[in-house]
């Protein structure tokens, strides 16, 4: 196999990886409403002790002018250059069960070569299943459980899909990866979560618990979620307080809840989560339900403010 996309390979560690491990993919880029992928990646790196196996060559895959790395300037000199990274690691769950983690930036260039390389790695490590998550903004209420679209080859998990559109959409590299894996008969499952559109620009903690729950269901791994669930409860309480202060916000929420419940009730009747004309409701179409909070968001949140509801 060609290593032309790699800038670093830890051969001894790579050779010692057990066969048949699951692969979790967490690539930042498109479709990261509510910081779903960012939260998952941070959680896995903080709690699962990843050991780097392979580092991909950012110079071949990253558009530096579109996503500039960060560098620190300290009074009279530059310090702490932080390049973007794309890494395949070996990590462990709460009970020490190993799994592979592909994390970092979504490649801007050479998608086909990158996906072919990942397919070769899946074959090399005899990956048992590949799973990934993302999130997209939709007119759903935060007072209902997070739902979404499940795709891939696992029939038992496909039954979890609540939203089953047939559409053409801008692809991400994980979409292409799933398409290729499915095409060669590899086990793969993706979870696209629906995020309340009025919270899509916030870090939405409930997405982390949903992501971890789905990854555990797909892989059999075990992750601690108590802390994430507590943050999610606190976040929801803050949003509830903000919405309770505004009549338009409350009316918007009631309408979203009604539409969501009707949709879930009538899955076979293809009831739409969207508006009557098939489009996502805008702020104006929802009677300016959160006008005050939009104004506050433009001014910037004060220290210790709650989430910015759009």
Residue 204 is assigned to a structural domain of this protein: yes
Does residue 13 register a pLDDT over 80?
yes
Which among 203, 230, 257 is the end of a domain?
A: 230
Going from the C-alpha of 72 to that of each of 29, 63, 182, the distances in angstroms are 23, 20, 43
Does residue 302 register a pLDDT over 80?
no
* DSSP for residue 32: B
Lowest mean pLDDT among 11-15, 82-86, 166-170, 213-217: 166-170
Same domain, 73 and 220: yes
Same domain, 107 and 73: yes
Same domain, 284 and 168: no
Residue 1 is assigned to a structural domain of this protein: no
Does residue 298 register a pLDDT over 50?
no
Same domain, 271 and 214: no
> Predicted confidence band at 159 (pLDDT cuts at 50, 70, 90)?
confident
Of the two residues 38 and 304, the one the predictor is more confident about is 38
Same domain, 199 and 62: yes
Does residue 74 register a pLDDT over 80?
yes
What is the rounded average pLDDT of the residues 45-56?
Answer: 96
Does residue 209 register a pLDDT over 60?
yes
What is the rounded average pLDDT of the residues 274-290?
Answer: 43
Same domain, 46 and 194: yes
| pLDDT for res 254 | 93
Q: Which helix (H) or strand (E) holds 19?
A: none
Of the two residues 89 and 273, the one the predictor is more confident about is 89
Residue 264 is assigned to a structural domain of this protein: yes
Going from the C-alpha of 66 to that of each of 91, 107, 108, the distances in angstroms are 30, 12, 9
C-alpha span between 240 and 302 (Å, rounded): 18
Residue 307 is assigned to a structural domain of this protein: no
| pLDDT for res 281 | 44
Residue 310 is assigned to a structural domain of this protein: no
Does residue 8 register a pLDDT over 70?
yes
| pLDDT for res 160 | 84
Residue 129 is assigned to a structural domain of this protein: yes
Mean pLDDT of the chain: 87
Same domain, 260 and 168: no
Which among 205, 230, 255 is the end of a domain?
A: 230
What is the rounded average pLDDT of the residues 90-119?
Answer: 97
Same domain, 218 and 253: no
C-alpha span between 273 and 73 (Å, rounded): 47
What is the rounded average pLDDT of the residues 137-160?
Answer: 92
C-alpha span between 227 and 83 (Å, rounded): 30
pTM: 0.85
Q: Write out the two tokens for 57.
A: 């060559």
178 phi and psi angles, rounded to 5 deg: -60, -40
Same domain, 188 and 58: yes
Of the two residues 87 and 250, the one the predictor is more confident about is 87
| Bridge partners of residue 88, in order along the sequence | 54, 102
C-alpha span between 260 and 310 (Å, rounded): 19
> Predicted confidence band at 273 (pLDDT cuts at 50, 70, 90)?
low
250 phi and psi angles, rounded to 5 deg: -65, -40
Same domain, 124 and 13: yes
Expressed as residue numbers, the domain containing 262 is: 231-299
C-alpha span between 177 and 100 (Å, rounded): 16
Does residue 76 register a pLDDT over 90?
yes
Q: What percent of the chain stands above pLDDT 70?
A: 85
Residue 304 is assigned to a structural domain of this protein: no
Same domain, 257 and 278: yes
The structural domain count of the chain equals 2
Same domain, 120 and 224: yes
| pLDDT for res 309 | 63
Handedness of CA 199, 213, 270, 141 (dihedral sign): negative
Neighbours of 47 (CB within 10 A): 15
- Give the pairing of strands 130-138 and 98-105: unpaired
Lowest mean pLDDT among 27-31, 166-170, 189-193, 210-214: 27-31
What is the rounded average pLDDT of the residues 187-192?
Answer: 97
Residue 55 is assigned to a structural domain of this protein: yes
Does residue 289 register a pLDDT over 70?
no
> Residue 198: which CATH number?
3.40.50.10900
Which among 230, 264, 282 is the end of a domain?
A: 230
């Amino acid at each position: 196999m060609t290593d032309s996309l790699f800038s670093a390979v830890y051969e001894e560690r790579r050779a010692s990886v057990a066969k048949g491990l699951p692969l979790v993919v967490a690539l930042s880029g498109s479709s990261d409403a509510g910081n779903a992928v960012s939260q998952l990646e941070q959680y896995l790196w903080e709690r699962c002790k990843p050991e780097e196996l392979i580092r991909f060559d950012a110079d071949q895959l990253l558009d530096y002018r579109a996503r500039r790395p960060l560098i620190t300037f300290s009074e009279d000199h530059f310090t702490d250059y932080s390049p973007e990274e794309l890494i395949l690691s070996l990590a462990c769950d709460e009970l020490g069960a190993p799994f592979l983690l592909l994390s970092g930036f979504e490649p801007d260039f050479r998608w086909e070569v990158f996906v072919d390389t990942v397919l070769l790695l899946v074959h090399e490590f005899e990956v048992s299943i590949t799973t990934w998550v993302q999130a997209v903004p939709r007119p759903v209420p935060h007072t209902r459980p997070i739902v979404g679209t499940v795709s891939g080859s696992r029939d038992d998990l496909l039954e979890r899909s609540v939203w089953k559109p047939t559409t053409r959409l801008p692809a991400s590299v994980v979409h292409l990866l799933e398409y290729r894996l499915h095409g060669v008969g590899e086990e793969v499952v993706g979870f696209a979560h629906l995020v309340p559109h009025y919270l899509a620009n916030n870090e939405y903690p409930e997405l982390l618990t949903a992501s971890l729950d789905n990854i555990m269901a797909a892989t059999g791994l075990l992750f601690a979620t108590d802390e994430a669930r507590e943050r999610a409860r606190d976040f929801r309480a803050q949003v509830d307080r903000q919405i309770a202060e505004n009549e338009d916000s409350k009316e918007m929420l009631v309408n979203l809840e009604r539409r969501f419940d009707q949709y879930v009730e009538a899955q076979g009747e293809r009831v739409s989560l969207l508006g009557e004309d098939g489009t996502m409701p805008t702020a104006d179409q929802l009677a300016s339900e959160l006008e005050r909070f939009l104004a506050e968001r433009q001014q910037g949140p004060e220290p210790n403010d709650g989430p910015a509801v759009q």
